Structure formats: C-alpha cells, structure tokens
C-alpha cells in the first residue's frame, strides 16, 4: 500500500495571511453606521481571531456599545456581505509564506488549510492572494459539523487532503490552534506575528517561529526523517 504524504495544516488569519486591516475596516463600517467611533488597526490583536461574531461583539463593547444577542445576528450578515466585497483590499500573505509552501510541496508534502473562517471566504481570500492552488484541501467553518478546537476538524482536514495523520504538523497563531493540535495528538508550530492578545509562546507550542523562513527547520524537528524523503 502506498504511504500517504506528510502534511502541513495551516490556520489562515494571522498565520498565512495578514488580514487584520480588512477585518477592522469592515468592523468600522458597521460602527460608523451606528454613529460610533472607528477602531484603530492597532487593536487587531485583541479583537481579531475568533470569528466575525466575536469581532463585532468585542468592537462594539470597546466603543462602549455592547450588543444584545439578537442584534449581533443581523450585524454578522452585514459584516460578511461587506467583508466579502473587500476581502483582499489590503490583506496579504505574510513574508516568506508562499516560498515556504512551495518548498514543502517540492519535497512531497501535502498542504491544507484548517480555519474557523467560513470555507467560502477562505477559498475566496486564498484565490485572490494567488495561493489557493497550493492546497490539497481548504476547510473552514461549515465544511464539517464541528470547528476548531474540536480535534475532528483537524483529522478530517488531513483526510480531505489525503495526508498522513502520523506525519502531520499544525501551524497556527493562537491558543485555539494549539489546543486543536494537542487534542488531535499532533505537533504544532506557532507563529509569533499573529492575532493573539496573549503572547502565543505562553501556550507552549512545540516550536515557535518569527518568519516562514524558520518553518522548514521547525518541521524537521517535529517529524520523522521519512517525511523529508520524496518517494
């Protein structure tokens, strides 16, 4: 039986792509409609990373206008409609991300995305950033009945990409990503440039990197040598 390929599974927002400006800009559109002040992009670390609903709730609370639950539902729909139309106005892949993806692919790795961003928006963003074709699977909220940190989300993403669960590494920027990997029994590399208010190092990832140039050595430290021998 042919052995499945080793695999890297990436979070999206704050890991592969710097999306905070477009997310905050969309939040500010909603705030302006309510006559509230804008949120500064510098607030991204404390607001972004837990999905549209949490972003809206946190943003309105920050401006002294906490929302009732029933209001959030309609605002989420308005948020998603505006965000989809402006999803890559300023969003970019982080430095070195594309080169790292290509390096691993050339060595025989499968690549996948496992995000809590809605799958449709995740695909759209990666298409606009010219990276969608690098991934054997792009899985987001709505792809499966569950989402991160449920370990089944990671396991099903690996399966969808036809990767080897015994030679898999999760790459993320948050406690949610680290918990997902831990719950699934997979090693995890964290990037320290993402959107977590608490420094991600405090959640004890297996490896911590500050640039995608460091991902190769981090993965080599976590996977068996066979993962780096193309067959």
For residues 110 and 73, membership in a common domain is answered with no
Asked if residue 16 has pLDDT above 70, the reply is: yes
For residues 29 and 122, membership in a common domain is answered with no
H/E stretch holding 125 reads helix 119-128
Q: Residue 2's pLDDT band (boundaries 50, 70, 90)?
A: low
pLDDT tens digits along 53-104: 889 999 999 888 888 888 888 899 999 999 999 999 999 999 999 999 999 9
For residues 182 and 104, membership in a common domain is answered with yes
For residues 205 and 117, membership in a common domain is answered with yes
pLDDT at 88: 97
Q: What is the mean pLDDT of residues 213-231?
A: 92
pLDDT at 231: 61
For residues 10 and 110, membership in a common domain is answered with yes
Contact call for residues 50 and 197 (beta carbons, < 8 A): no
Count CA atoms closer than 13 A to 117's CA, side-chain side.
Answer: 28
> What is the C-alpha separation between 163 and 99, in angstroms, rounded?
21
For residues 115 and 213, membership in a common domain is answered with yes
For β-strands 163-172 and 5-10, DSSP reports them as parallel
For residues 106 and 191, membership in a common domain is answered with yes
> Which of 103, 124, 53, 112 shows the shortest CA–CA distance to 212?
103
End-to-end CA distance of the chain: 13
CATH number at residue 220: 3.40.50.1000
CATH number at residue 70: 1.10.150.240
pLDDT at 65: 86
Task: Tell which of 41, 57, 85 closes a domain.
Answer: 85
Domain that residue 9 falls in = 5-18+91-228
pLDDT at 45: 73
For residues 160 and 188, membership in a common domain is answered with yes
Q: What is the mean pLDDT of residues 26-54?
A: 86
Q: What percent of the chain lies above the pLDDT cut of 90?
A: 80
Task: Tell which of 69, 85, 101 closes a domain.
Answer: 85
- Record the pTM: 0.94
Task: Tell which of 85, 118, 140 closes a domain.
Answer: 85
> What is the C-alpha separation between 195 and 193, in angstroms, rounded?
7
Residue with tokens 């995000």, as numbered in its chain: 115
pLDDT tens digits along 169-220: 999 999 999 999 999 999 999 999 998 889 999 999 999 999 999 999 999 9
Count CA atoms closer than 13 A to 191's CA, side-chain side.
Answer: 26
For residues 66 and 12, membership in a common domain is answered with no
For residues 104 and 217, membership in a common domain is answered with yes
pLDDT at 142: 93
Furthest-apart CA atoms within the chain: distance in Å: 63
For residues 184 and 172, membership in a common domain is answered with yes
Residues noted as catalytic:
11
> What is the C-alpha separation between 127 and 45, in angstroms, rounded?
25
Q: Provide the 10 A C-beta neighbour count for residue 20.
A: 22
For residues 70 and 131, membership in a common domain is answered with no
Tokens of 231: 């067959």
Tokens of 70: 């029933």
Overall domain count for the chain: 2
């Amino acid at each position: 039986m042919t052995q499945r390929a080793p695999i890297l599974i990436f979070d999206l927002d704050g890991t592969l792509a710097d999306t905070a400006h477009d997310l905050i800009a969309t939040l500010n559109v909603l705030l302006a409609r309510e006559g509230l002040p804008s949120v500064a992009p510098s607030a991204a670390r404390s607001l972004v990373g837990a999905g549209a609903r949490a972003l809206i709730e946190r943003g309105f609370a920050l401006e002294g206008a906490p929302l009732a639950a029933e209001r959030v539902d309609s605002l989420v729909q308005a948020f998603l409609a505006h965000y989809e139309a402006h999803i890559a106005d300023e969003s970019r892949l982080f430095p070195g991300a594309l080169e790292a993806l290509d390096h691993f692919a050339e060595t025989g790795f499968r690549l996948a995305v496992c995000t809590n961003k809605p799958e449709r928006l995740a695909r759209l963003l990666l298409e606009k950033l010219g990276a969608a074709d690098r991934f054997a699977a792009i899985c987001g909220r709505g792809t499966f009945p569950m989402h991160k940190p449920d370990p089944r989300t990671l396991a099903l993403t690996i399966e969808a990409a036809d990767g080897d669960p015994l030679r898999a590494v999760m790459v993320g920027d948050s406690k949610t990503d680290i918990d997902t990997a831990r719950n699934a029994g997979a090693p995890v590399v964290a990037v320290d440039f993402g959107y977590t208010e608490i420094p991600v190092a405090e959640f004890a990832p297996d490896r911590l990197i500050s640039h995608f140039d460091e991902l190769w050595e981090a993965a080599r430290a976590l996977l068996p040598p066979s993962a780096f021998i193309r067959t």
